[in-house]
Amino acid sequence: MVTKKRLLFVDDNEDFCEIFQQGLAQRGFDVTVARSVNAALRLICVAKFEVLLCDLHLPDAGDGLTVVSAMRHANPNSVTLVLTGYPALQEATNSILRQANEVLLKPIGLNEVVEIIERKLLNPSIRLQSVKQRVAVILERDRDATMLNWLSKVERDPELNVIALSPKDRTGHLPLILGDLVLRLCAGPHPKALLSRSARDHGVLRREQGYTLAMVVEESRILQVCLFNTLQNNLGYVDFDNVLLDVMTIADEVDSQLKQAVLGFMNAPAPVVESLPA
């Protein structure tokens, strides 16, 4: 007796679900349907599936990638196929394919989907799992890219651009500040905020360069955005078991460094302004 392959089909379109559920069942699959992220996650927790067919855009918090990631953790050898109605996925495709086996563009016929599933089930390839990395490792590895991204955003910011600085002077103590952030992330769970001498020195430098406190706050905000951009660009490598704690630590450390920079700024001597001869 041939055991039917268990397939989890996740889509919020009722008509599409009904057509595909019937068609897949007629072709020998044991089909379970979920119409939301939450429903799919509950099923993945209690049952084993050989195949996941999931729409990328779903209701509830998260999206199809949340479901795909959960399936990859629970059933690492499953065939995972993502459906999307949006052809412009070039930017997201690499992140998707680190978890899913293939991205299928809607509208797509049932026969084509079945052919793809059967081909992947009959010819399982050895899936090279991405080496999961802690956020600290990613930020240290991509420190230069993060700084370049930050510099690019800062140089286009009209509020910060009122003071003309060379890239070296604009960057200031940023390499050391990022180093302190990595140290904080490496310190283990629930680490206390560091007293970043680099951040305090950075505040002193900004006072000497003619920044205002509002400008110091703005460039700190941009730094936090760039840090999360770096993580977004490395989603396929992020260790999701620890990512929530790491993200909270980043936010806390950036705020702590901003406080140190403000203290340095406020306690620094005011810049000397040479008066013009009468």
Tens digit of each residue's pLDDT, the chain (278 residues): 557 899 999 999 888 889 999 999 999 999 999 998 889 999 999 999 999 999 888 876 557 777 887 887 788 889 999 887 766 553 445 445 556 777 788 878 889 999 989 888 887 654 444 457 788 988 998 888 889 889 989 988 999 999 999 999 999 999 999 999 999 888 865 556 668 899 999 999 999 999 999 999 999 999 999 999 888 777 767 777 788 888 899 999 999 999 999 999 999 876 655 544 54
Residue 39 lies in a domain: yes
Identify the CATH number of the domain in which residue 71 sits: 3.40.50.2300
Q: Is residue 85 part of a domain?
A: yes
Domain membership flag for residue 145: yes
Does residue 81 share a domain with residue 190? no
The first and second tokens of residue 228, run together, are: 């999360």
Last residue of some domain: 122, 154, 184?
122
Q: How many domains does the chain have?
A: 2
274 occurs within a structural domain: no
Specify the pTM: 0.53
DSSP string, 77-97: TSEEEEEES-S--HHHHHHHH
Is residue 155 a contact partner of residue 170, using CB atoms and an 8 Å limit?
yes
CA dihedral over 51, 55, 57, 59, signed as positive or negative:
negative
Phi, psi of 80, deg, nearest 5: -120, 120
Question: Does 88 share its domain with 145?
Answer: no
Q: How far apart are CA 153 and CA 111, in angstroms?
A: 48
89-97: Cβ within 8 A, 24+ apart: 94/236, 95/65, 95/235, 95/236, 96/56, 96/65, 96/68
* Alpha-carbon separation of residue 2 from 28, 29, 265 (angstroms): 9, 11, 73
Cβ neighbours for 175, distance < 8 A, ≥ 6 positions apart: 143, 147
CATH value at residue 244: 1.10.490
Do both 94 and 216 map to the same domain? Answer: no
- Domain coverage including residue 231: 135-267
| Residue 55 backbone dihedrals phi, psi, to 5 degrees | -70, 145
Clarify whether residues 111 and 139 are in a common domain.
no
CB 4 within 8 A of CB 28: yes
In a domain, 276, yes or no: no
**For residues 66 and 41, is the Cβ–Cβ distance under 8 A?**
yes
Helix (H, G, I), strand (E, B) or coil at 121: helix
